[in-house]
């Protein structure tokens, strides 16, 4: 049966998370009638995330009640092309969102900017280290947009979130106590940094003694009563320790519901439909534009929503999936290394360092917050000399205290048996005397890490599953090991530390594993750029092949930064929206020549 056809709207937005609701806010105010289709449920910070019920570790942190349902949609996974990809039958390595606010309601709130050199990764390394420094096995490329161009938009998103931090580079002037490596900021953070617990403080002191440059992690866990530019009211964080994987009923963690949705929901040009699962995007007969999207409504009926302009805001992985099942753009073929959709998928290379204190340091790990950390950026990006290291990229090292939720937080020193009496004793003795360090490393793109469609398994809507082919590239194994060693050096320098151990997800003898949580920082697959042979969208986020489709989210990243993605991807979102409003909507046409 042909899908029921609805009246046309100006803009159709697929996905109601950070990027989708922001697109709706900005385009609605530009006079566009916007319809947002969100596959998940309606929910609200005020009514859905209140304590103490929200503080249910089992339900939210381990049963993933706020996240997407793999029974409906999942992907298949393999480490290389010689393996058979098999379904990700349970969530694990990453936790994509579903429902109003998307993953933005259960993020940590670590709000970063890219380094200026990150956005010109290939040309920067070639200029500094020579043409051949980036080996042929890497498909690292420039973003096609510069830090200077993104700065006002990065700054604006920090204001939307009421970000808490201390600027390390204010208008070109370095400031001790902030991140001295960051690009110039046009203004300081809107709110002062978070208060730091003892473990993070001792880390900062040790790093400073070693001549490194510690600073408080930039945070969207808000530190003061604050009103954002859209008029949203935020409250100070209580350090409740139920932050990442949970919604914040205190209105203290910036989320897209309170920061954006509440400020747009009553606008006459705005409409959002929940339980609206987009199945595919339809193209015009000549294939040059998209005409709208077919979705399943709450009653399970297929509906066609026509639109003049389409914004893809379904999260990195599902944007790529929608392109592949809809025939948007040219799919990537690793055999011939041609095509672009699915190309340059990358991730985040994470290592952990555990430091254990003697009994005199009591950390109270349950007092935590999603972005509570002290960081050094001395080994991130190209902030350190790579000449003799044999790799590109780096990562930040943070000592962090997110939570002490006891199902998930059971730090024990190396050599402890995996269960039994000794394990129990060790958990008991170390719970309150542990410093938790992370190496949050970049991820280069390679021709062999990519996304396409699986030949065997389908989702509950009958569409082929997305297939992920990914393993840690040699470059990132070296990078991660190097930066982890530096993290261990700092951990050993910390006062009252009695033992230090490290775990590297990308260690030589390990392959990327879909089971343990790493990060929900899936990036690439529909990358931004200036060359249609190596990018899906032009530098304004507009599809080369279908000029009325604009793409948002981390799928745009040509390779991954050493930072968490939301600050950068929201900077890109505001950049795209500015060009849509100023240049595209008055004259709908390609914004760049192919």
Ligand X SMILES: Cc1cc2nc3c(=O)[nH]c(=O)nc-3n(C[C@H](O)[C@H](O)[C@H](O)COP(=O)(O)OP(=O)(O)OC[C@H]3O[C@@H](n4cnc5c(N)ncnc54)[C@H](O)[C@@H]3O)c2cc1C
Residues carrying an active site annotation: 521
Identify whether the C-beta of residue 527 lies closer than 8 Å to the C-beta of residue 233. no
Identify whether the C-beta of residue 305 lies closer than 8 Å to the C-beta of residue 37. yes
455 binds, among ligand X, ligand SF4, another protein, none (CB under 5 to 8 A by kind): none
- The C-alpha torsion from 529 through 291 and 99 to 108, rounded to 10°, is 10
The nearer residue to ligand SF4, 50 or 352, going by C-beta atoms, is: 50
Among positions 9, 11, 13, 17, the unique one binding ligand X when judged by CB under 6 A: 17
CA distance 25 to 260: 7
The nearer residue to another protein, 147 or 226, going by C-beta atoms, is: 226
Inter-CA distances, 582 with 19, 76, 479, 540, 579, Å: 19, 40, 41, 12, 5
The nearer residue to ligand SF4, 60 or 379, going by C-beta atoms, is: 60
Here the tokens at position 166 are 């201390």
CA distance 533 to 343: 11
CA distance 35 to 25: 11
CA distance 353 to 487: 7
HSE toward the beta carbon, residue 33, CA cutoff 13 A: 9
DSSP letter, residue 18: H
Reference 356, options 223, 497, 545; nearest CA is 497
Among positions 88, 105, 163, 252, the unique one binding ligand SF4 when judged by CB under 6 A: 252
Instruction: Report in angstroms how near the CB of residue 556 gets to another protein at its nearest.
Output: 27
The nearer residue to another protein, 240 or 328, going by C-beta atoms, is: 240
> Which span (96-104, 235-243, 353-361, 507-515) binds ligand SF4, by CB under 6 A?
235-243
20 binds, among ligand SF4, another protein, ligand X, none (CB under 5 to 8 A by kind): ligand X
Q: Is 292 in the site for ligand X (CB under 6 A)?
A: no
Bond preceding residue 52 cis, omega within 30 of 0: yes
18 binds, among another protein, ligand SF4, ligand X, none (CB under 5 to 8 A by kind): ligand X
Map the footprint of ligand SF4 across residues 72-101, applying CB under 6 A. none
97 binds, among ligand X, ligand SF4, another protein, none (CB under 5 to 8 A by kind): ligand X
The nearer residue to another protein, 199 or 380, going by C-beta atoms, is: 199
Tell me the per-residue interface mask from 25 to 44 with ligand X, x by CB under 6 A, - otherwise: ------------xxxx----
HSE toward the beta carbon, residue 171, CA cutoff 13 A: 3
Reference 177, options 375, 372, 369; nearest CA is 375
Q: Is 278 in the site for ligand X (CB under 6 A)?
A: yes
Angle between helices 474-493 and 198-209 (to 10 degrees): 100
HSE toward the beta carbon, residue 580, CA cutoff 13 A: 30
CA distance 567 to 557: 12
Residues 6+ positions from 471 with CB-CB distance below 8 Å = 79, 80, 448, 449, 511, 512
Sheet (strand 75-78) strand order = 86-87, 75-78, 464-469, 450-458
How many residues sit close enough to ligand X to count as binding (CB under 6 A)? 43
The nearer residue to ligand SF4, 108 or 560, going by C-beta atoms, is: 108
CA distance 460 to 457: 10
Instruction: Report in angstroms how near the CB of residue 88 gets to another protein at its nearest.
Output: 6
Among positions 9, 12, 16, 369, the unique one binding ligand X when judged by CB under 6 A: 16
Residues in contact with another protein by CB under 8 A are: 51-53, 55-58, 62-64, 69-71, 74, 77-79, 83-84, 86-92, 195-198, 201, 236-242, 362, 364, 366-367, 372, 404-407, 410, 418-421, 424-425, 427-428, 431-432, 456-458, 511-515
Q: Is 243 in the site for ligand SF4 (CB under 6 A)?
A: yes
Angle between helices 566-579 and 18-29 (to 10 degrees): 20
Reference 247, options 1, 67, 16, 453; nearest CA is 67
The nearer residue to another protein, 146 or 503, going by C-beta atoms, is: 503
Instruction: Report in angstroms how near the CB of residue 506 gets to ligand X at its nearest.
Output: 20
Tell me the per-residue interface mask from 561 to 590 with ligand X, x by CB under 6 A, - otherwise: ---xxxx-----------------------
The partner residues of 353 in beta bridges, in order of sequence, read 437, 502
Identify whether the C-beta of residue 293 lies closer than 8 Å to the C-beta of residue 323. no
16 binds, among ligand X, ligand SF4, another protein, none (CB under 5 to 8 A by kind): ligand X
How many residues sit close enough to ligand SF4 to count as binding (CB under 6 A)? 14
Q: Is 98 in the site for ligand X (CB under 6 A)?
A: yes
HSE toward the beta carbon, residue 111, CA cutoff 13 A: 32
Q: Is 250 in the site for ligand SF4 (CB under 6 A)?
A: yes
Here the tokens at position 33 are 């009638």
Q: Is 237 in the site for ligand SF4 (CB under 6 A)?
A: yes
> Which span (107-115, 126-134, 154-162, 386-394) binds ligand X, by CB under 6 A?
107-115
- The C-alpha torsion from 174 through 179 and 185 to 191, rounded to 10°, is -120
Map the footprint of ligand X across residues 189-248, applying CB under 6 A. 244-245
Q: Is 169 in the site for ligand SF4 (CB under 6 A)?
A: no
> Which span (11-19, 247-255, 360-368, 492-500) binds ligand X, by CB under 6 A?
11-19
Q: Is 382 in the site for ligand X (CB under 6 A)?
A: no
Tell me the per-residue interface mask from 351 to 390 with ligand SF4, x by CB under 6 A, - otherwise: ------------------xx--------------------
> Which span (28-36, 233-241, 255-263, 300-308) binds ligand SF4, by CB under 6 A?
233-241
Instruction: Report in angstroms how near the CB of residue 551 gets to ligand X at its nearest.
Output: 10
The 10 Å Cβ neighbour count of residue 239 is: 19
Among positions 13, 18, 356, 497, the unique one binding ligand X when judged by CB under 6 A: 18
CA distance 590 to 594: 9
236 binds, among ligand SF4, another protein, ligand X, none (CB under 5 to 8 A by kind): another protein
CA distance 247 to 244: 8
Buried-state track 171-196, b at ≥16 Cβ within 10 A, e below 16: eeeeeeebbebbbbbeebbbbebbeb
Map the footprint of ligand SF4 across residues 212-231, applying CB under 6 A. 221
Residues at the interface with ligand SF4 (CB under 6 A): 221, 237-240, 242-243, 246, 248, 250, 252-253, 369-370
Interface positions with ligand X (CB under 6 A): 14-20, 37-40, 95-99, 102-104, 106-110, 244-245, 276-278, 313-315, 318, 322, 370-371, 520, 553-554, 564-567
């Amino acid at each position: 049966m042909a899908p029921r056809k609805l009246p046309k709207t100006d803009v159709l937005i697929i996905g109601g998370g950070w990027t989708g609701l922001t697109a709706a806010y900005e385009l609605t105010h530009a006079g566009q009638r916007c319809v947002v289709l969100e596959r998940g449920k309606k929910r609200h910070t005020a009514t859905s995330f209140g304590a103490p019920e929200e503080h249910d570790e089992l339900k939210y942190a381990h049963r993933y009640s706020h996240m997407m349902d793999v029974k409906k949609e999942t992907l298949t996974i393999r480490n290389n092309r010689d393996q058979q990809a098999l379904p990700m039958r349970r969530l694990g390595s990453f936790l994509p969102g579903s429902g109003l606010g998307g993953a933005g309601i259960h993020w940590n709130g670590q709000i970063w900017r890219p380094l200026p050199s990150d956005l010109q990764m290939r040309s920067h390394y070639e200029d500094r280290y020579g043409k051949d420094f980036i080996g042929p096995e890497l498909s690292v490329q420039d973003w096609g947009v510069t830090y200077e161009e993104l700065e006002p938009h990065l700054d604006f998103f920090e204001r939307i979130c009421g970000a808490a931090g201390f600027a390390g580079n204010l208008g070109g002037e370095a400031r001790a106590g902030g991140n001295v490596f960051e690009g110039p900021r046009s203004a300081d953070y809107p709110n002062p940094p978070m208060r730091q617990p003892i473990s993070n403080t001792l880390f900062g002191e040790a790093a400073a003694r070693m001549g490194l440059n510690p600073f408080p992690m930039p945070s969207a866990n808000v530190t003061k009563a604050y009103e954002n530019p859209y008029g949203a009211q935020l409250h100070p964080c209580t350090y409740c320790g139920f932050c990442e994987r949970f919604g914040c009923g205190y209105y203290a963690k910036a989320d897209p519901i309170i920061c954006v949705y509440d400020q747009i929901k009553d606008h006459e040009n705005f409409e959002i439909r929940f339980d609206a699962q987009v199945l595919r995007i339809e193209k015009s007969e000549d294939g040059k534009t998209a005409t709208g999207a077919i979705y399943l409504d709450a009653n399970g009926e297929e509906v066609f929503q026509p639109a003049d302009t389409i914004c893809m805001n379904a999260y990195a992985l599902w944007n790529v999936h929608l392109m592949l099942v809809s025939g948007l753009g040219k799919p990537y073929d690793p055999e011939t290394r041609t095509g672009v959709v699915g190309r340059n998928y990358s991730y985040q290379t994470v290592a952990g360092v555990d430091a254990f204190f003697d009994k005199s340091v009591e950390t109270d790990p349950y007092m935590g917050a999603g972005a509570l950390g002290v960081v050094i950026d001395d080994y991130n990006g190209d902030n350190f000399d790579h000449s003799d290291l044999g790799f590109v990229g780096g990562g930040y090292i943070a000592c962090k205290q997110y939570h002490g939720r006891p199902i998930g937080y059971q730090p024990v020193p190396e050599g402890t048996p995996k269960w039994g009496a000794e394990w129990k004793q060790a958990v008991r003795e170390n719970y309150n005397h542990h410093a938790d360090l992370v190496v949050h490393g970049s991820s280069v793109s390679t021709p062999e890490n990519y996304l396409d469609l699986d030949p065997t398994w389908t989702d509950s809507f009958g569409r082929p599953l997305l297939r992920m082919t990914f393993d840690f590239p040699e470059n990132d194994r070296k990078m991660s090991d190097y930066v982890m060693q530096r993290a261990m050096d700092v951990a050993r320098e910390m006062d009252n530390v009695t033992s230090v151990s490290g775990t590297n997800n990308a260690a030589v003898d390990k392959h990327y594993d879909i089971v343990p949580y790493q990060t929900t920082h899936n990036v690439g697959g529909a990358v931004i750029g200036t060359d249609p042979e190596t990018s899906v969208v032009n530098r304004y986020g507009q599809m080369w092949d279908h000029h009325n489709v604009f793409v948002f989210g981390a799928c745009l990243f040509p390779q991954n930064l050493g930072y968490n993605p939301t600050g950068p991807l929201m900077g890109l979102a505001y950049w795209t929206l500015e060009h849509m409003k100023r240049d595209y909507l008055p004259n709908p046409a390609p914004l760049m020549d192919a």
